[in-house]
Amino acid sequence: MKKSCWFAILVLAACSSPKIQQEAVSKFNTIGSVERLDSAINALIPADAQIEVLASGFEWAEGPLWLEDQQALIFTDVPANKIWKWTEKDSLSLYLSPSGYLGDRMDKHEPGANGLALDSSGNLILCQHGERQVGKMLASLDAPKSEFEALATGYEGKRFNSPNDLVFNSSGQLFFTDPPYGMDPWDEKQLDFQGVYRLDQDGKVSLLVDSLSRPNGIALSPDQKTLYIAQSDPEKARYYAFGLDESGNVISGKVLFDASPLQSESRKGLPDGLKVHSSGTLFATGPGGVLVISPEGKLLGTIMTENGTANCGFDIGEKYLYMTADAYLMRIALK
């Protein structure tokens, strides 16, 4: 379906530039399809499930995070330095601006927040490209303000590149990736590698992995013994699985799935954000949309979004998978 068709029943949201468009709550346009390679995918995605386009008009949508108390999804628009909020009831609204860069430069290409997470106290934690830090919003979720506390800014006295995505374990340890995607040409690169780190509750930052060329999305297995990392390198478009000990240290590592052979003109995108279903199945953005991968590394199928897809996330009950795909916010029903 051409993009022009999707705008037919969309209405303009009264927010700020760029103009964001939103479908009527009672009916959403659909797009794409589900490629089913293994019958195991049918236990996760109903046979009649459709990909719904909830909103559009973003520069590069990222970081979907479900807020259960508000029955809302918030997500970032990284180049626009904004966070948006979508609900079934009230549609789309601007949630936070600025989100990742607090300075005055207007020529930064990806200044905003990227990945989002909630800590055990319900605080919003952000990977902030422009500030090159992991930050905490110093306001409640229902009254957001662009006031932040820096939780981690660098490693061994050297500034991070641009923290990208993050995940907490049940002990409150925060794992995050630090590729250079949010850096501008004038930014000083102080680290000569792209790291995967752990931030402990006492503020200590530990380097876990320094061998990946473009670490991006990050997630934990349900038992928290495996750390999954997506690598957005077109030459090595892979998903990795790293074994963790009880202290959160990496003790082993392997390639879980190599998506490099899937790349083509018709399958846009590279490994980016990913989430792990309660079944242990990975929903990992990559070539074609969202790859559905078993814990053993078998590709079960792909949610074909027809767009480069940045990230995804579940609501609390895993009723829907929400997807940020280029200029669009989408979702698909799950079983």
Element (H, E) at 253: strand 250-258
Instruction: Supply the pTM of this predicted model.
Output: 0.92
Residue whose C-alpha is closest to residue 138's, from 130, 129, 148: 148
Q: How far apart are CA 270 and CA 302, in angstroms?
A: 13
pLDDT on residue 27: 75
Q: What are the structure tokens assigned to 59, written together?
A: 């520069």
Burial of 297 (0-12, 13-18, 19+ CB in 10 A): middle
What residue ranges define each of the domains in the chain, with the CATH number in brackets? 58-288+310-324 (2.120.10.30)
- Give the mean model confidence (pLDDT) for residues 193-209: 98
Per-residue pLDDT at 3 exceeds 70: no
- Other C-beta atoms closer than 10 Å to the C-beta of 213 total 13
pLDDT in tens, 40-94: 999 999 999 999 999 999 999 999 999 999 999 999 999 999 999 999 999 999 9
- List Cα–Cα distances, 120 to 87, 172, 226, 227, 306, in angstroms: 23, 7, 20, 19, 36
- Give the mean model confidence (pLDDT) for residues 160-184: 98
Per-residue pLDDT at 200 exceeds 90: yes
What is the pLDDT confidence band of residue 18, given thresholds at 50, 70 and 90? very low
Q: How far apart are CA 155 and CA 102, in angstroms?
A: 22
Edge-first strand order for the sheet with 113-118 is 113-118, 124-128, 133-137, 148-152
Residue whose C-alpha is closest to residue 62's, from 127, 2, 3: 127
